[in-house]
Amino acid sequence: MLTWLRQHLQQFRLAKRSRPAIPDTLWSSTLQTYPFLTADPANDPEQLRAMVAQFLADKEFSGAHGLQITDAMAVAIAAQACLPVLHLGLHWYDDFKGIVVHPGAMLARREVVDDAGVVHHYKEALSGEAMQHGPVTLSWADVADAGDSARAGYNVVIHEFVHKLDMRSGSADGCPPLPSRLARENWRVTMQANYARFQTQLTMAERFGGKAPWLDAYAATAPAEFFAVTSEAYFVNRVRFAQEFPELLSLFVQFFNASAAP
């Protein structure tokens, strides 16, 4: 059971204006384990720290299959989840409470109907999942490895929480709520062009031996997944992301650094 969080959770909820800061040792350890948290000079570590404390006060963590959630685990997840909304505001996550953490990949039951109308049932291994108006589930094994996997632009926490941003405009379609019709059109045109280019690069690599794309091929499955996967890379490996997706760099800076978004 959480030690520091358990001791202060009630105080958080009753006196949010004077909520205690995350302990220095715990916060320093988190930043050392996940260096990308402080890689962007536009992000104030103390602002992130304060938001993480609020996030922990507002959300409810639970471990699956006997997993015990420690302070370090909760703070690690919260810090990564807060990165996408550091400038947007924590209200972007106000449609859910629960975060379920599995020790490793989880098996989700799936159902698909083929062209003949036959229903097929199968299980899919997932490292995370975000449900609209519902909880976020995460694989702790993937979260714990986030410091190392940043080189590949991979981060399961950011991926699933960006899906939550996307879902605020309805079902996830790769376009989060934006302040104007012009902004939405610019977003869709820019994202679609980069999505199509990524799909082409992936096809050339798989069929003709071309250079494989940097990011996970899962990004090519749907516009919503392309948004989530590219967002992971944007936050955890900005230098490589800028090289691979220069058009998306300016688009994402404009969106994620906005302080007055819907």
Check residue 133 and give left, alpha or beta (phi > 0: left; psi -120 to 50: alpha): left
**Which tens digit of pLDDT belongs to each residue from 36-75?**
999 999 999 999 999 999 999 999 999 999 999 999 999 9
| Sign of the torsion formed by the C-alpha atoms of 86, 4, 64 and 91 | negative
Q: Categorize the per-residue pLDDT at 15 as very low, low, confident or very high, splitting at 50, 70 and 90.
A: very low
Judge contact between 175 and 184, C-beta under 8 A: yes
Return all residues near 214 (Cβ < 8 A) that are at least 6 apart.
Answer: 152, 153, 233, 240, 244
User: Phi/psi of residue 98, each to 5°?
Assistant: -90, 140
**Which tens digit of pLDDT belongs to each residue from 78-135?**
999 999 999 999 999 999 999 999 998 776 665 555 566 555 444 556 789 999 999 9
Domains and CATH numbers, the chain: 4-256 (3.40.390.10)
> Radius of gyration over alpha carbons of the chain, in Å?
19
pLDDT computed for residue 109 by the predictor: 62
pLDDT computed for residue 108 by the predictor: 61
pLDDT computed for residue 14 by the predictor: 44
Average pLDDT, integer, range 187-194? 98
